[in-house]
Structure 1
Amino acid sequence: MSGWLVVGLGNPGPTYAGHRHNVGYLVADLLADRLGARFGAPKGLRTELAEGRVGPIGPDSVKLAVMKPRTYMNELGGPVSGVLSYFGWSPDHLIAIHDELDIDPGQIRVKFGGGDNGHNGLKSIRRSLGGSGDYFRVRVGVGRPPGRQDPADFLLSNFSAVEKKDLGVEIERAADAVESLVTVGLERTQSAFNS
């Protein structure tokens, strides 16, 4: 039976938990909650994994596996391809949730394929998929750093107090976009969520 693999991009451990770069982990946590599933650590897969179903109850529901890799961002491609193989799913059933500097905070974009835009997590996934970027992305806007702050330092810092006020809503919308993507498809999801 086919299903979807959703990977929240982030870095493991408490040091990174509140960083902008870990917004994918936050969405993955919410999706697992919605599935009523707990994260486990399947042997040899270097990830935390939660599984459940979305959509209408019965034969039309869709299997969803949500993962948070236990490797750092620049090495998470290995666990992603490992879990795809584990389930026997192809990359066109992969959804990566990640932070995006070129999108303003409070905005989300859903797309299929495209470049990596300098994102180390996306680069790692591309390497693990033999150079292909043909998978879905839910891009959560974090905006550009203020002034001359280095983008890497900005991403590896916590959300500001102002940003935190709206963060819960954005995490909910990103999780909604994932569920929409697997139940109604790309076009309807883009028209609903791409602001």
Structure 2
Amino acid sequence: MADLRLIVGLGNPGPEHARTRHNAGFWFVDALAERLGARFNVDAKLFGSTCKVDIAGKPVWLLKPATFMNLSGKSVAAALRFWKIDPDQALLVHDELDLPPGTARLKFDGGHGGQNGLRDTMRLLGHGGFHRLRIGIGHPGHKDKVTPWVLGRPSGDDETMILRAIDAAIDVLPLATHGDYNEAMKRLHTAKP
């Protein structure tokens, strides 16, 4: 598989959204940038904030779209074009209702599963041929409760579990950066929360 060159955290901009479940993608890229001593800067031409990091000797761009979740594809497509990155060299990180807090899963291709950031990206790219990192946020139990759930803050225990899953996913990034997604998946998917 292709080496990883771009990691996109999906979320909504603004302090009112900062600690919501829906911003798990932002939590991830923020934690990664902090671990690597990098800082995000606004990049208007890419409709978001970016920074460049080194992961296991490979340069990787980080992107946080400023377009709100439902329009994330605009920022993702602009970044892929500008940096001449193929979609299969990108990892989109997002919240996942169907996984419990404390769980993170890597996957390649597939549908959007109702995740609007993925939906918009797939609409603009014309396919889903990119990598995803799904950060479990749990499900409220009924579909009518989904919107307030994803836009709400997790409990202290759930937040701790989500942050542990993020740390475990960051730990396997050197493998993905060098194109060894199978080993990265194996290690992440067998990690204990």
Structures share fold, TM-score greater than 0.5: yes
Q: CA separation in 2, counterparts of 1:121 and 1:179? A: 25
Per-residue deviation at 1:179? 3.5
AA of the residue aligned to 2:10:
L
Is 1:90 the counterpart of 2:86 in the alignment? yes
Instruction: Find the counterpart in structure 2 of residue 58 from structure 1.
Output: none
AA of the residue aligned to 1:139:
R
- 1:180-191 correspondence runs (5 A): 180-183=175-178, 185-191=180-186
1:41 partner SS = strand
Per-residue deviation at 1:14? 0.5
Q: Which deviates the most, 2-11 or 62-71?
A: 2-11
Structure 1 residues 3 and 116, CA gap change in structure 2 (3 angstroms) = closer
Is 1:137 the counterpart of 2:132 in the alignment? yes
Per-residue deviation at 1:183? 2.8
- 1:1-195 correspondence runs (5 A): 4-55=5-56, 61-130=57-126, 132-146=127-141, 150-183=145-178, 185-195=180-190
AA of the residue aligned to 1:171:
I
Q: CA separation in 1, counterparts of 2:116 and 2:168? A: 24
User: Unaligned stretches of 5+ in structure 1?
Assistant: 56-60
Percent identical? 34
Q: Which deviates the most, 62-71 or 141-150?
A: 141-150
Q: Which deviates the most, 103-112 or 178-187?
A: 178-187
**How many aligned residue pairs are there?**
188
1:187 partner SS = helix
AA of the residue aligned to 2:188:
F
Per-residue deviation at 1:5? 0.7
Q: CA separation in 2, counterparts of 1:47 and 1:149? A: 31
Paired residues of 1:110 and 1:177 also in contact (CA < 8 A): no
Task: Give the RMSD, CA atoms, in angstroms.
Answer: 1.7
User: Unaligned stretches of 5+ in structure 2?
Assistant: none
Using structure 2 for the length normalisation, give the TM-score: 0.91
Using structure 1 for the length normalisation, give the TM-score: 0.90
Q: CA separation in 1, counterparts of 2:153 and 2:174? A: 27
Per-residue deviation at 1:146? 4.1
